[in-house]
Structure 1
Amino acid sequence: MAVEMENQRLEEEIFNLKLLREKKVANWDSEMVEMHRENLQQMAQLQADIGMLRRDVVRMPPRALQGPPPFVPLMPPPMLPPMHPTKKLPGRPEAAIVTGGLDSMRPPSPAANRHIMEPLDALGPAPYDPVAGFVIFYDFLLGLEPTFQKVRLLSGLYSNGHRMGQTTSLPDEPCEMWHSPQHLTNAPKGNIAMLATKQPIPRVRPASSIALVMELQASGGFNPYGQVVQHLSSCGWSKLDLFDQHNQVLSGHWTLPVRALPLRPGLSTGQLNTVPQVGKAELFLRVTNARDAELPSLTEIDPRNASLYQYPPLMSNSPAAVIENLTHRLAFHPSTNAFHMSLSPYTDYVDPPPVEELPNQQKNSQR
């Protein structure tokens, strides 16, 4: 009897322990469900706050009315390649430049979280930080030849006609037919190529002589001998001055018509306007300071907004001398990273020819 009573007591204790463990497991599961529900609510609230902040940024008054933001130096990106000192050649400017990598802006974020187009004043003049540099957004190409099948853009920085560092190559993009809306009466007709790529360029000292030179390569169509072009070959180029006389980046939405070859980086803006345009091809891009690149990165790229892009201003301090060295005239010489593009005339301005000095004998006779 004593053994049987002890066994019964032990069984009751075991049963009570099982009930207690099952109760603890049930409580633990309910706590986990409650924590998961609270996390979901917090995430939904954060997403709503982010959407509200983005709408507030779009509704902000233009920066020009508020005055420029305070100048805050930014640290360079953490993954920048190390800079190597380059040998200074006679007659060439000394410049320290690291060209950043290319960032594709595709696939875009959901349409509800994108802006159709940031305000034009968002890319207005602002103090420039040489460490952070600037960002170039290559949006799209319009007016391409109907026979073009694929295009590639190559870019490089030049100072007074001399190349600075290496060139950069954008990804190859297919060409498609594009029918402009009826309200865009001045939009160029022809094929379209969506580039949708941004390129950060840090560590560039500001100077009015620095320009972005681009070359356009295309496959398709026919060469002067009537043969079909199977491989990508150069068909035009363009140039964009990057800094004004106040050492500020020329931020804005720019339209650059494609110019005919040969490529001559030493041409001033006025002289560039005398070079014929290649058909109706035009490049649409944006330039902004690196610290202001967050909002343009969220912008939806739409060729229907082509009318918001403008031709660059005529720089009053552009060098009048034309540097035409044979290496520039014959080829762009792209490296593993390279690309090029072109501009078209948008003004009747033509720089006057340089005044030639008279020989000493004629000077003496005139005296």
Structure 2
Amino acid sequence: MSLQCSSTDIGTHGPKARLGVGTHPNGWIQRDRWGDMKVQDAEGKIDLGRRLRIAHVITRLINGGADENTVHSCNWAAQGGHDVVLLHGETVLPEIIAKVDPRVELIGVPGLTRSISPVSDMRALLALTRRFRALNADIVHTHTSKAGILGRFAAWAAGVPAIVHGVHIVPFVNVGVAERFAYLALEKLAAPVTSAFISVSEGIRDLCLSAGVGHPDKHYVVHSGFDLDRFRNAGPPDGWRDLLRLTPDAPRPSVLLMIAAFEPRKRHTEFLDAFNKVAVRLPDAVLVLAGDGPLRSTVESRAKRLGLERQVVFTGYRDDPERLIALADLCLLCSMREGLPRVVMQYLAGGKPWYQRCDYTRG
């Protein structure tokens, strides 16, 4: 994985770096104390001058930050002329699939699910091991907690020369005692077979190190990159009045926006309870909830029970978050925990004030 500089991207070690796979797709770049860039090549196990076989593994392919980062990394490697495979679990959304470069081969992994299931997990572990051997992969880059554990053990069993784990969020922080113990123990077991850890923030890296996961020399930070100009220069959606369900002569209301997948960690239902109190004081305010996910119908039902149908707009998944941010007066995020949330960086890039009530993992 390499770091490529761009005038419009956010990345590591400064505001103009971006994670991608290009000039040095099987190394990772860090700055030495003089600020120069240097590449480490998986301890000399890989020939940098040839076309590489790179396998990425992720638990789900949904419309989240980790998924977008994974797809960007796959696309950069494929555009650099390398053979890239993206192995994914059973939960897949068509919107994220549409963003994958046609040169990237997509392979579903039976049994790879987010929930812990010994039978399914063993099935996925064996399937990944067989697949890595068949691919004769030079590099395996894992993403997210479940795929990170199973993928690294499978890559080690298959004899993959370089095993990289992308740390988008720390699984053993702000969770129950049993879950913390299980994930921390597994992370420590997987650390010796991990060639490098790539965290999305210094805080995430420091949490791993303070918990004893991996050696400091194997930890790197690459911030979550995106096109800043896309958000700086955006205007509201063309049909914003229809989106907000306004009559032609109605004045523009105050708009609150939260862009987040509808899943328990994002705490939509809890936020609706709080917004219900705000709505009493600001009856003309409109809350826009953008995104999709398994809890969307539950949140919609909650809004209806609270009598907020008029003031809450569910947009579903949209591929123009920059336009929604341009429309908003205040942007929100209420996650139970986060690493370095891309959406908050996008709020800031759009120049909008934002409010968070999140238990960030020091991201």
TM range (shorter): under 0.3
Q: Normalized against structure 1, the TM-score is what?
A: 0.21
Q: Name the structure with the higher helix share.
A: 2
Q: Normalized against structure 2, the TM-score is what?
A: 0.21
> Rg larger in 1 or in 2?
1
Select the structure with the greater relative contact order (CA < 8 A; seq sep ≥ 6). 1
